[in-house]
A and B are shown apart, each in its own frame.
Chain A
Amino acid sequence: MECGNYSMKKRLSITQQEQVHVEQKVFEIFKILDGVSPHTQSLMLEIWRDKHIEFLTRGLRGLAPSYSVLDANRPWLCYWILHSLALLGVPIDSEFENNVVDFLGRCQDANGGYGGGPGQLPHLATTYAAVNSLITLGSQRALSSINRDKMHKFLVQRKDSSGAFRMHDAGEIDVRACYTAISVASVLNILDSELVQGLGNYIISCQTYEGGIAGEPGSEAHGGYTFCGLATMILINEAHRLDLPGLIDWVAFRQGVECGFQGRTNKLVDGCYSFWQGDVLALVQRLSSIVQEQLKLAHVREAQNPAKACYVETHNSTKGDSDPCGSSHQAGELSDIGQSFLEGQAEWGPLLNSIALQQYILLCSQINTTKHMSSSLGLGSFGIQPCSVGPT
């Protein structure tokens, strides 16, 4: 093995070329920021509230033909738009509200759950989107339109013997399905031990040696699934069963020189991961006592394991009872976990470089010409990034 090889002209792989290309574009933009006066800098680093509001409200009325690929995902469009408007502090008028409630009502299946559009099979992701849209609206009418009994039956039917959930009848099983199911159950106060059974074991089997969580066992750690996995474990009070130091390590290092986050190792930065990865770190802020316990034992093992904190199984006696295979929980108790988690104190400050992330989002994701946010620099998406706004 000669290291002389390296002194020969370095041929970049495609991955490398793309990375260099994106870095150059990002650094050009940051250079501009550096070169202007503080006053101009502060103008550059603003969120274009009005433009986004205009874009979103237009979208609520109607979307261009290119959005037809999202036809099986229409509740998502409702959610992204409504949630973004809510974050921007914009009230929704009652006409819009009625339209949304009506529309989602037609997406609701007679046997529970919501599909991608009227007449479509109920699907966990669109269910998540629909329920959260209605909650964002928050009116009596919106909330009472959700059939909770049928929803519970629908969720039970999606449960798989592995402990995980299927996205829809005869659909795929992965960590997204777990999160959407549990999140909906928790917020609708219908979470019970039947739904929770074996779930922790499945998600743990999806945490990889890298520290992050994969979509299914054997796959690579991925930002979206890491969020879904961690959030689910928190909601069922089993977060302590994950290797949290390893998870934090992986996520934190996904924030690169571009200041935004990448979704997986050696992939390009992308605005959407501001949410998936960023929010993992926001959640972890409230798990500090568990993490510290795990670290104490990991410290000793560091001699054995050079590059990462060890995987430790700890007994959690601080956050109440956790009984992974338990069957004695009442429905109410389990649904309360999420609420009390959020009400708890964040004991740590941000674990990401928050300022850098905001800089990336405002300067690289926010695009002037089409007046909305792009998911990655120069690379397009349908443009709505409500989630990027959230954690920062």
Chain B
Amino acid sequence: MARGILVLFLFICGVSAQNLVVKNAGRKVELNLVYSHLLVPYPSKIVQNQPQLVKYSGNAYPFLPYEVVSAKTVVTLSSNNIESYTKVKPVSVTDTSITYGPYENLPAFSEEEITVHYENNAPFLTVASLKRWIEISHWGGNIAVEEDVDVLHTGARLKGAFSRHEYQRGQSGPSSVASYRTFLPAAASSIYYRDDIGNISTSRTKILEDTVEVELTPRFPLFGGWKTKYKIGYNVPSYEYLYSRGDNFILQMRFIDHIFDEMVVDSAEVSVLLPEGAEDVEIVFPEYPGIEKKADSIFKTYLDTTGRKVITATKKNIVENHIQDFQVKYRLPSWRLIFEPLLIVVACYLMFLVIVIYVRLDFSISKDEAVEARMKAAGVLENVLSTQEKRDAIYTSLDAAIHTLKSSKDVNGFQSALKNINADHKNLAQSLGDQVSRLRSLGVPDLADKILDLQKLDKTLKDIVGQQVSLAERLVGNKIAKGNYVTEDATLGKKREELLERIHSIIGSL
């Protein structure tokens, strides 16, 4: 007998029990009663290396509304160190148990108080309050469970100093609790164990066949009267607990789960967070008394508009035997699934739209003519630059044409190519002239002048290239000696280079 009290009555009813048994026929009934907080530490305060003594008070007889023909009470203890016990004859003591009885022919409701005072170093842990938070996500196919646990050591309180030195030597604090094990569902993953100030690094997880065992070590060992608080959370896949037909869903999960062996929970609050837009909610609680449903509330989190429905229920005084399933039925239209992605899409779209509009609007109070003219001029200049680039390309293609002429001696082909090139060049010169007039109208005459210079230089350049072309034609027509051609072409090339340099310096200064 450790933490809670498990009283097992095994009796044969020989008397009339209206609905239970037929007259004169026997029937075996087993009754399980679990009491919490029945063991009282006595003395209530102990020093660090003292063992913990507790007092059990109960009835020597079965407390029944019937006459009892024969009764026997066996008190099983956790240790053989018994300080004292009430003697209601006949009574016998074996190693770790006290047997009262057998008693014959007891009247109904017979009572004889007994107390047993003995050593019990079992961990007297009590969960003062438990908050269980179950969050269903249809998107992730995931159910997140988080438990907020307040643990209190309800054994004999620690009196005086706590000496780490003695504790580390391992001979003291028999009733203190250093760690305990929690069993989570077998499918639990991404388990965390933390408190207000972050992760508690002292936990170990072991995956067993039908459960996940987590060994939790609180930040400090728990002595009598000490308490701690932590959060444990995990994810389970929704297909294990969420059943569906069409738009209708049923969640079937444990109302509360295992925290530690022989646990006692003074008060528990269980909340289920349904997905946004769940309708026609219906709850089926396990059939134990004292369960209380609280008013529904609304919880808003990421990407929620109307908020999610939270259903909450509370229950006081829970022990391990209360671990049972409960059900939540609801309907969730399937279009709800794409609602949130759509929300993001629309939000992004709106944001871009606003930016697009903002960029195109002019918020200045007065129009700045100079700035605008400058911007326009910059646009024109860009045109000029691209035109000049094209012109450079034309000269390069002309050089290439001359080169092919020299090698293939195809005069006719060359003539037609030359014609095209000349036409292109003319167009470009024309468009540059237009730009000059535009620049003038914009009120930047100095730029216009520069471009005029450019035009003049280009004209001379064109002349030189023209001479080069005629030289090449003469060479092909054998009207000039090769040596002469090379020297003349070289001088022309030099001139051309100088011109190019000047052109580029102008371009650079634009």
A and B: bona fide binding partners: no
Q: Which residues of B contact A (CB under 8 A)?
A: none
Q: Which residues of A contact B (CB under 8 A)?
A: none
